[in-house]
Structure 1
Amino acid sequence: MPAPSSPAELYRHGLRLLLDKDIASWVGLWSEHGSMEFPFAPPGWPGRLEGRAAIAAYMRDYPDHIDLHDFPDLRIHETADPATIVAEMRGVGRVVATGSPFDVTYIAVVTVQDGRFASYRDYWNPLSVREPGLDFSAVDTRSAA
């Protein structure tokens, strides 16, 4: 696939990689010093990840916890800043540990610089973490992937 030429294209490409469970390639879309924030993270969960290595550590075992099937209802909004988009969507699939359905609503504010994710604020629904098998709070985000 040719390199995505817009923030919206990069974001869509990243979603395809997550559906393919290709976490290494998804992490490769990030700037070395990119940041990922979770403003609604529950207590004990990381609220901010600094740098590609921390993001890789956080996402490394994601497919072992959540089996994503689709991102329905995707809407991408451009902003006054051409490098920033706002994405609305749902992530649906199943929780691997329990087999329970996974259905989480997301709003993300994403900024791209030099063709890579530089900032990603993920306003996901924290009530979804009450499901057994969705505990990412113990992930050591200081180690490299």
Structure 2
Amino acid sequence: MIDLILVKDMNAVADLWAPDGIAEFPFAAGNSPRVLRGREEVRAYLAHYPELMDMKEVTALTVRPTVQTDTVVVEWTATGRTVVTSQPYRLDYIVVLTARDGLIALFRDYWSPLSAAAAAGGLAGLIDSLERKDV
């Protein structure tokens, strides 16, 4: 999956999901979705990623098996540049991934919405969306 993201083949990334696979983002904030249900929702979510973030390299990658043979915990760090600002970024991720029949059944991504928004040049927009929800 990381290799496909690096070459910006988001359709191929989405094809790694089972048709009924789930992507969860427990720390999502603002206008970001917390759950995507099915491959096509994942595909739609990923479609514009290359227009926002230009991931250049994964500088650290650790895969940790679990007692469940179909589940791993993946820790990784991505570096690149933000398309809108051309500024470099470094983002850390922790993902719990469960596979079924060679496809992603559950992808639980513990990313930081604050770090991602800052990297994408959208921190003010994230803060604004959070403040509007409290009103």
Which category of TM-score, normalised to the shorter sequence, fits these structures? 0.7 to 0.9
- For 2:48 and 2:31, locate their aligned partners in 1 and report how far apart those are by CA, in whole Å: 18
State the 1:133 CA deviation.
5.2
2:113 corresponds to 1:121: no
CA displacement 1:94-136 (0-9 Å, x = unmatched): 1001001121110000000000001000001222213425889
Bigger-Rg structure (1/2): 2
Structure 1 gap segments, 5+ residues each: 1-13, 137-145
Identify, as 1 or 2, the structure richer in helix: 2
Matched, 1:44 2:31: yes
Residue of structure 1 in register with 2:129 after alignment = none
Q: From 86, 95, 115, give the equivalent of 1:99.
A: 86
Q: Offset of 1:25 from its aligned partner?
A: 0.9
Tell me how far apart the structure 1 counterparts of residues 63 and 75 of structure 2 sit (CA, whole Å): 6
Q: CA RMSD in A?
A: 1.6
Greater relative contact order, per chain length (Cα 8 Å cut-off, separation 6+): 1
Shift of 1:88: 0.5
**Between Structure 1 and Structure 2, how many residues are aligned?**
123
Give the structure 2 partner of residue 140 of structure 1: none
Retained in 2: the 8 A contact 1:98–1:133? no
In the alignment, structure 2 segments of 5+ residues that lack a partner are 127-135
For the residues of structure 2 that align with 1:77 and 1:47, how far apart are their CA atoms?
A: 24
For the residues of structure 2 that align with 1:52 and 1:33, how far apart are their CA atoms? Answer: 6
Shift of 1:57: 0.4
**Which amino acid letter does the alignment assign opposite residue 51 of structure 1?**
G
Q: Which portions of structure 1, spanning 4 or more consecutive aligned residues, are displaced by more than 6 angstroms?
A: none
Q: Deviations over 1:44-97 (max 9, x none)?
A: 211111011100000001111100011111000000011000000111101001
TM-score normalised over the length of structure 2: 0.86
Q: 1:71 aligns with which of 58, 63, 66?
A: 58
* Percent identity (aligned): 38
CA contact (8 A) 1:68 1:91 kept: yes
